[in-house]
Amino acid sequence: QDGPAGVRFAKGTGISWQGSINNAMTFDKDLMYEVGKAQGEENKEKGINVALAPCANMMRNPKGGRAWEAYGDDPYYVGVWAYQVTKGIQDAGVIAGLKHFVANDQETYRKSSSSNMDMQTLMDIYAEPFYRPIHEAELASIMAAYNAVNDTYCYENKFILKEVLRDILGFKGFVMTDWWALTNDDPISIKS
């Protein structure tokens, strides 16, 4: 279930969490861990196995519709906060579903846009925030983004999901698509 702002579509009421960008502005690592742990505990209490959180996207556009869901515009800083929240969620016994891999930094037309860039930009800016949660928090799940990277949708992009995510970043968990992402009747098969 979603996610950074609280559990949706679950029985009963859920806690409504303040925007992740606001939490990040505290510069308090312990607080970020505690937020993740409390979110994990709430998900577990409601019988949810995978929390679709946190969000490690780079908020490079101030008009980005979901800027509140991530932690800012510095790749290192975003990675540190994503690690803390991921660790907290998973320490509560719930799988963290880090999102949205990768280069999802706008809401308008995100299902039809392509973020085009060279390899250095991809790795240094957009993939960097995912590194620490993968290696230090032993991240179990990643959500592939709606958008395309270099004209191929992320959720069926062999280069992004196999070569970057698996081979370079060393991710060993499972990948899921964003809610209604699949548009191709025959998406490529990504083998772990």
Please provide the DSSP assignment of the chain as one string: -B-TT---S-SS----PPPHHHHHTT--HHHHHHHHHHHHHHHHHTT-SEEB--B------TT-TTGGGS--S-HHHHHHHHHHHHHHHHHTT-EEEEEEETT---STTTTT-EE---HHHIIIIIIHHHHHHHHHS---EEEEPSSEETTEEGGG-HIIIIIIIIIIT---SEEEE-TT----SSPPP---
In this predicted model, what pLDDT tens digit does every residue of 157-179 receive, in sequence order?
A: 999 999 999 999 999 999 999 88
Record the pTM.
0.90
> pLDDT tens across 110-143, in order?
888 899 999 999 999 999 999 999 999 999 999 9
- State the catalytic residues: 178
Q: What tens digit of pLDDT does each residue of 53-85 get?
A: 999 999 877 767 777 889 999 999 999 999 999
